[in-house]
């Protein structure tokens, strides 16, 4: 009989969001008249902006003509989109990025999960705790970790706790990491990193010979102009960091699927014999081998995001979600909860009341208010005693949810 990859058996019982879905379904089946409000998974609710839709419709019509049909495109992405990405997200911030340093993909989740393939299995990873589960789970699947311990932590992973006690700003690892996962604005805590702090991370990575995997999927929600939107705003970052970006939350592409990964050619790793190799070339080989590219229609929609009207429309949507975040944050404060985040990110991180465990509070919130959030412990052991609410709901649902919570 064919053997399985036993690393999968190390994983905890289920991925966080399917477990939430299972519990919500069980409650819904038993309470069929309940109107459940979902502020858990970070899925957008506003429709695609008109400029994006029009661009995709026009592209679809092109595909229906002999002269406009597009078959396989470049796996790395069409130049028309990559040029707009560079001009808007990098050149405008004084950062020089070359076209062949940008790789268009079908999502940052996929990129964050797949990127570990180009690193040695001997690489030691460091993650902020709590953390987006994909970072940890994909390394477990690959065999880069040991078994999970009674404390919920996997052996051979460096955990960097981010809690109220350290203002959600993790300390640098004392043990040398080969790969450091950073996410700012942070999912799940909603916190951001200042330019000074990011500079410290870049300097630390240089000193330790580490690589930073910088997940910047929520950069468009930053309201404070002093907070950097790209790690490449930090001098020297191109030598130690690759950056993940997404259209999912920025432009509502959660169901449309488009993102991109920046890997500067200055970013190098070493073979066992000491030879330097560009991570850019390794990822290009992986990307072109295992991926056939994002559809032409989708990339034309993504290009429209950077048009003048497209920018107006997506900024309106971002403002809508950030107003939701404000309503949630202020409403929870009024109800006596201790709340973090929600000012430069679409996530609100709250401390569970009365010392409740995260899943205990999940069940209480669902049972008493019919509101769904995300238990903090699902993001890692340091998330125990915390809870995440998403600002991506509809305005009327957000208002209703806060009213229900205040009446609990």
Query: Could you tell me which residues are annotated as the binding site for pyridoxal 5'-phosphate?
Result: 72, 108-109, 132, 187, 218, 246-248, 257, 292
User: How much is the pLDDT for 15?
Assistant: 66
User: How much is the pLDDT for 12?
Assistant: 77
Band the pLDDT of 117: cuts 50, 70, 90: very high
Reduced to 3 states (helix: H, G, I; strand: E, B; else coil), residue 45 is coil
DSSP codes, 125-182: EEEEES--HHHHHHHHHHT-S--B-TTSPBTTEEEEE--GGGTT-PPPPSSPPSEEEE
Share of the chain above pLDDT 90, in %: 95
User: How much is the pLDDT for 40?
Assistant: 85
User: How much is the pLDDT for 376?
Assistant: 96
Query: Could you tell me which residues are annotated as the binding site for substrate?
Result: 15, 42, 109, 132, 187, 292, 388
CA distance 408 to 397: 17
Residue 395: alpha-carbon gap to chain centroid: 23
Q: Is the per-residue pLDDT at 14 higher than 80?
A: no
CA distance 262 to 305: 18
Enumerate residues 6+ apart whose C-beta is below 8 A from 397: 37, 38, 39
User: How much is the pLDDT for 162?
Assistant: 97
Is residue 345 within 8 Å of 389, Cβ to Cβ? no
Query: Could you tell me which residues are annotated as the binding site?
Result: 15, 42, 72, 108-109, 132, 187, 218, 246-248, 257, 292, 388
Compute CA distances 365 → 84, 355, 362, 374, 406, whole Å: 44, 14, 5, 11, 11
Q: Which residue has the higher pLDDT, 214 or 20?
A: 214
CA distance 180 to 360: 31
Is residue 276 within 8 Å of 247, Cβ to Cβ? no
Burial string for 5-39 (b: 16+ CB within 10 Å, else e) reads eeeeebeeeeebeebbbebbeebeeeeeeeeebbb
pLDDT, tens digit, 9 for 90 and up, residues 127-142: 999 999 999 999 999 9
Q: What are phi and psi of 28, to 5 degrees?
A: -65, -40
pLDDT, tens digit, 9 for 90 and up, residues 318-369: 999 999 999 999 999 999 999 999 999 999 999 999 999 999 999 999 999 9
What average pLDDT score do residues 14-31 get?
86
Tokens of 265: 């050619």
Is residue 183 within 8 Å of 131, Cβ to Cβ? yes
Band the pLDDT of 13: cuts 50, 70, 90: low
Tokens of 53: 């839709």
Residue matched to tokens 């519990």: 23
Residue 315 is inside which H or E element, if any?
Answer: helix 308-334
Compute CA distances 205 → 65, 129, 179, 406, whole Å: 51, 19, 9, 45
User: How much is the pLDDT for 56?
Assistant: 98
Query: The dihedral of CA 25, 346, 364, 133: what is its sign?
Result: positive
DSSP codes, 36-99: -EE-SS----SPPPHHHHHHHHHHHHHHTSTTT---S--TT--HHHHHHHIIIIIGGGT----G
Closest CA to 386 of 122, 191, 177: 191
Reduced to 3 states (helix: H, G, I; strand: E, B; else coil), residue 329 is helix
Is residue 52 within 8 Å of 310, Cβ to Cβ? yes
User: Considering the chain, what is the average pLDDT of its residues?
Assistant: 96
The answer to whether the peptide bond before residue 224 is cis (omega within 30 degrees of 0) is no
pLDDT, tens digit, 9 for 90 and up, residues 57-75: 999 999 999 999 999 999 9
DSSP E strands: which ranges in 247-304? 259-262, 268-270, 276-278
Is residue 241 within 8 Å of 214, Cβ to Cβ? yes
**What value does the CA radius of gyration of the chain take, rounded to a whole number of Å?**
21
């Amino acid at each position: 009989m064919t053997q399985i990859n036993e690393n999968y058996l190390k994983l905890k019982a289920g991925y966080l969001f399917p477990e939430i879905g299972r519990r919500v379904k069980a409650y819904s089946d038993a309470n069929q008249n309940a109107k459940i409000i979902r502020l858990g998974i970070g899925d957008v609710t506003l429709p695609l902006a008109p400029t994006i839709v029009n661009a995709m419709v026009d592209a679809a019509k092109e595909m229906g003509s002999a002269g406009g049909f597009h078959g396989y495109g470049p796996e790395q992405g069409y130049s028309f989109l990559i040029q707009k990405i560079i001009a808007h997200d990098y050149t405008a911030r004084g950062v020089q990025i070359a076209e062949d340093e940008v790789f268009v993909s079908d999502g940052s989740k996929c990129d964050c999960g797949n990127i570990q393939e180009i690193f040695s299995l001997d690489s030691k990873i460091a993650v902020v705790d709590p953390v987006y589960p994909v970072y940890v789970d994909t390394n477990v699947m690959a065999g880069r970790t040991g078994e999970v311990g009674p404390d919920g932590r996997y052996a051979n992973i460096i955990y960097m706790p981010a809690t109220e006690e350290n203002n959600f700003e993790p300390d640098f690892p004392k043990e040398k990491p080969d790969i450091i996962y950073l996410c700012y604005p942070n999912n799940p805590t909603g916190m951001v990193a200042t330019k000074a702090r990011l500079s410290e991370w870049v300097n630390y990575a240089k000193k330790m010979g580490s690589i930073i995997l910088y997940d910047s999927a929520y950069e468009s929600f930053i309201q404070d102009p002093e907070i950097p939107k790209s790690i490449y705003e930090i001098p020297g970052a191109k030598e130690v960091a690759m950056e993940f970006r997404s259209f999912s939350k920025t432009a509502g592409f959660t169901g449309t699927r488009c993102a991109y990964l920046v890997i500067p050619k200055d970013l190098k790793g070493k073979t066992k014999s000491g030879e330097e190799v560009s991570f850019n070339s390794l990822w290009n080989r992986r990307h072109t081998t295992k991926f056939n590219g994002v559809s032409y229609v989708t990339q034309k929609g993504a290009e429209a995001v950077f048009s003048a009207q497209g920018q107006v429309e997506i900024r309106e949507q971002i403002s809508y979600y950030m107003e939701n975040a404000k309503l949630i944050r202020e409403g929870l404060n009024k109800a006596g909860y201790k709340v973090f985040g929600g000012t430069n990110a679409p996530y609100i991180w709250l401390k569970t009341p009365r010392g409740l465990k995260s899943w205990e509070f999940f069940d209480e919130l669902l049972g008493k208010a019919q509101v769904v959030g995300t238990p903090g412990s699902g993001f890692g052991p340091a998330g125990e005693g915390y809870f995440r609410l998403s600002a991506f709901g509809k305005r009327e649902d957000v208002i209703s949810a806060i009213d229900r919570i205040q009446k609990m």
